[in-house]
Structure 1
Amino acid sequence: MHVHEYQQYDATGLAELIRGGEVSSKEVFEAAMSAITALNPTLHGVVRARFERASQELLNVTEKSPFAGVPTLSKDLLMALEGEPLAFGSAALANWRPKEDSLLIKRVREAGLVVMGQTATPELGLMGITEPKAFPHPQNPWREGYSPGGSSGGAAAAVASGMVPIALAGDGGGSIRIPASYCGLFGFKPSRGRVPLAPAHGEVWQGAVVEHALTRSVRDSAALLEHINGMAPSGPYPTPRETGYVAALSSSSKPLRIAVSLGGFLSRGLGTQVSAEVTAAVEKAAHALAAMGHEVEWCDPPVEGDALADSYLTLYLGHLAADLHWVSQQTGVPVHRLAIEPSTRAVGRLGAKLSARDYELAKRYWHLAAEQMSHFHQRFDALVMPVAADTAPKMGELYPTAARERLMALLAIPGVPSLALKAGMLKRLAVDALRRTPFTQLANLTGQPAMSVPFHVAANGLPVGVQVVGRLGEDKQLFQLAAAMEQHDDWQCRISPQAFGV
Structure 2
Amino acid sequence: MTDERVHAFADDALGAHDAVALAALVRAGTVNPRELVGAAVDRAARVDGALLPVAHASYDRPRISREGIGGPLWGVPTYLKDNVDLRGLPTGMGSEAFPARPARRNARFTDQFLATGLAVLGKTRLPEFGLNASTEFATAQPVRNPWKPSHSAGASSGGAAALVASGVVPIAHANDGGGSIRIPAACCGLVGLKPTRGRLVTNAQSGKLPIDLVTDGVLTRSVRDTAAFLAAAERHRSNPALPPLGLVEGPGERRLRIGLVVDSPTARTDGPTRRVVEETAARLEAMGHLVEPAALPFGEEFSRDFVSYWGYIAWAVAATGRLLIDPGFRAGRLDGLTTGLRRRFQAEFPRTPGVLRRLRRAEGVYARIFRTHDVILSPVLAHTTPPIGHLSPNVDFDELMDRLTRYVAFTPVNNVAGGPGIALPAGSAPGGLPVGVHLSAAHGQERLLLELAFGLEADRPWRRIQD
Aligned to 1:48: 56
Match of 1:179 among 177, 184, 198: 184
1:129 deviates by 0.3
CA contact (8 A) 1:182 1:463 kept: yes
Give the secondary structure class of the aligned counterpart of 2:280.
helix
Shift of 1:134: 5.4
Matched, 1:382 2:351: no
* Alignment partner, residue 217 of structure 1: 222
Going from structure 1 to structure 2, the CA distance change for 1:475 and 1:60 (only over 3 Å counts) comes to closer
- Please give the per-residue CA displacement for 1:404-426, whole angstroms capped at 9, x wherever unaligned: 2xxx6xxxxxxxxxxxxxxxx7x
Matched with 1:420 is: none
User: Structure 2: how far apart are the matches of 1:242 and 1:38?
Assistant: 43
Whether contact under 8 Å (2:245, 2:446) holds in the other structure is no
Confirm whether residue 190 of structure 1 aligns to residue 161 of structure 2. no
Distance 1:455 1:382, change over 3 A: same
* Match of residue 79, structure 2, among 63, 73, 91: 73
Match of 1:169 in 2: 174
Flag structure 1 segments of 5+ consecutive residues without an equivalent. Answer: 409-424
Question: What's the TM-score, normalizing by structure 2?
Answer: 0.91
1:154 and 1:261 mapped to 2: Cα distance?
A: 29
- Amino acid corresponding to residue 443 of structure 2 in structure 1: L
- Following superposition, the deviation at residue 276 of structure 1 comes to 1.4
2:310 aligned with 1:284, yes or no? Answer: no
Shift of 1:376: 2.0
User: Any conservation in 1 of the 2:65–2:114 contact (CA below 8 Å)?
Assistant: no
1:370 aligned residue: 363
Aligned ranges for residues 315-334 of structure 1 at < 5 Å? 315-329=309-323, 330-333=325-328
For 1:236-315, what aligned pairs fall within 5 Å after superposition? 243-246=244-247, 248-250=248-250, 252-265=252-265, 267=266, 272-301=267-296, 303-315=297-309
Partner of 2:426: 455
Q: Relative to structure 1, is the Cα distance of residues 443 and 59 closer, same or farther in structure 2, using a 3 angstrom cutoff?
A: closer
State the shift of 1:336 in Å: 4.5
Of structures 1 and 2, the larger Rg is shown by 1
More displaced, 58-67 or 96-105?
A: 58-67
Q: Does 1:440 align with 2:411?
A: yes
Determine helix, strand or coil for the equivalent of 2:440.
strand
Q: Which secondary structure does the structure 2 equivalent of 1:497 belong to?
A: coil
Distance of 1:86 and 1:197 partners within structure 2: 18
More helix, by proportion: 1
Q: Alpha carbons of 1:122 and 1:483: their partners in 2 closer, same or farther (altered >3 Å)? A: same
**Cα drift, residue 230 of structure 1:** 8.9
3-state secondary structure, aligned to 1:465? strand
Taking the TM superposition and a 5 Å limit, the aligned residue runs for 1:221-236 are: 221-229=226-234
**In structure 1, what residue type is equivalent to 2:293?**
W
Count how many residue pairs are aligned between Structure 1 and Structure 2: 457
Identity %: 31
**Conserved 8 A contact 1:149-1:182:** yes
Give 1:429 shift. Answer: 6.9
Amino acid at match of 2:36: V
Residue identity matched to 2:42 = S
In the TM superposition, residue 115 of structure 1 has moved relative to its aligned partner by 0.7
Contact 1:130 1:148 in 2 (8 A): yes
Q: Contact conserved, 1:129 with 1:150, CA < 8 A, in 2?
A: yes
Structure 2 residues without counterparts, runs of 5 or longer? 1-8
SS at match of 2:78: strand
Q: State whether residues 229 and 242 of structure 1, in contact with CA within 8 Å, keep that contact through their aligned partners in structure 2.
A: no
Contact 1:74–1:119 (CA<8 Å) still a contact in 2? yes
Q: Output the CA distance in 2 between the equivalents of 1:479 and 1:322.
A: 36
Aligned pair 1:347/2:345, yes or no? no
Offset at 1:199? 5.1
Shift of 1:130: 0.4
Deviation at 1:64, TM superposition (A): 2.6
Alpha carbons of structure 1 residues 7 and 257: separation in structure 2 relative to 1, 3 Å = same
